[in-house]
Amino acid sequence: MIPEATVARLPVYLRALTALADAGIRTCSSEDLATAAGVNSAKLRKDLSYLGSYGTRGVGYDVDYLRYQIAREIGVTQDWPVVIVGIGNLGHALANYSGFRSRGFRVVALLDADPERHEEIVAGVPVRPFADLEAIAREHAVAIGVIATPAGSAQDVADQMVAAGITSILNFAPAVISVPDGVDVRKVDLSIELQILAYHEQRKAHEHARVDADDHGAAALAVGGDA
């Protein structure tokens, strides 16, 4: 059983290994890979140790071999059919995102409730009515669905997805959705990320103000001491 925190980092390692392989590097140390992935080398080694013992002491890791092992563990060696619901600005961007196809994710359908969009072809895939979800999902054995609709529709879309046999949902809508046990949901929320940054930014500003005030206080105190 691999810890959740480790699972979340494995794709990062995979990407770093691909970059190293593209650069013609065939072997790397945990230190090299950790730097490329932006983590601590001890954490990297511990993470990899959950998968097995794929390195060689005194040498390091074979880039291609480790890459294959991680890809197999994550499951990106297989083909994952995906449906995207909600073809607005974000849906367009997702449909055109090349990072999906290159990692084994195949967009089998784009769905939208708005009939105006049913003429469109995005990234080579025609936009179809939302009502076709179940038929398409069953036909292609789709396990993963992406929600890129407005918040108001998200729960309804999620319900339909679950009814269509989808068991993993990536939710871009700014809404909390509830699903039955056994269905995984991951949430990506653009404005929440910005708000987290704003909090830290504000704290930096306060910190500066406080330090400045302390400096002034110290200066005044020093003057007082002198007088």
Partner DNA sequence: AAGAGTTTGTGAATGGGAGAACAAATCACC
Partner DNA sequence: GGTGATTTGTTCTCCCATTCACAAACTCTT
Which residues contact its own copies by CB under 8 A? 7-8, 10-12, 14-16, 36-38, 73-76, 78, 80, 82, 88-90, 92-94, 96-97, 99-100, 103-105, 143-144, 167-170, 174, 176, 178, 182, 184, 186, 188-202, 204
- Interface with DNA includes 54 (CB under 7 A)? yes
For residue 174, give both structure tokens.
């700014």
> What is the distance between the alpha carbons of residues 119 and 139, in angstroms, rounded to a whole number?
22
Query: Would you put residue 85 in left (φ > 0), alpha (ψ -120 to 50) or beta?
Result: beta
Residue with tokens 């730097």: 35
User: Given candidates 19, 26, 46, 131, which one binds DNA under the rule CB under 7 A?
Assistant: 46
Q: Cβ(103)–Cβ(75) under 8 Å? A: no
CB of 179 to DNA, least distance (A): 16
CA distance 108 to 144: 11
* Cα–Cα dist 113/132, whole Å: 10
Of residues 21 and 170, the one with the C-beta less far from its own copies: 170
| Shortest distance in whole angstroms from residue 101 CB to its own copies | 10
Beta strands 105-112 and 60-62, pairing class: unpaired
The distance of closest approach from Cβ of residue 186 to DNA in the complex, given in angstroms and rounded to an integer, is: 15
Dihedral, 156, 161, 165, 171 alpha carbons, nearest 10: -120
58 contacts DNA (rule: CB under 7 A):
yes
CB of 57 to its own copies, least distance (A): 26
Decide: 131 and 109 in contact? Cβ < 8 Å. Answer: no
Among 19, 49, 96, 217, binds DNA (CB under 7 A): 49
Q: Is residue 12 near DNA by the rule CB under 7 A? A: no
Examine residue 23 and tell whether it contacts DNA (CB under 7 A).
no
Of 6 and 167, nearer to DNA (C-beta) is 6
Q: Which residues in this chain contact DNA in the complex, by CB under 7 A? A: 3-6, 28-31, 39-43, 45-46, 48-49, 53-61
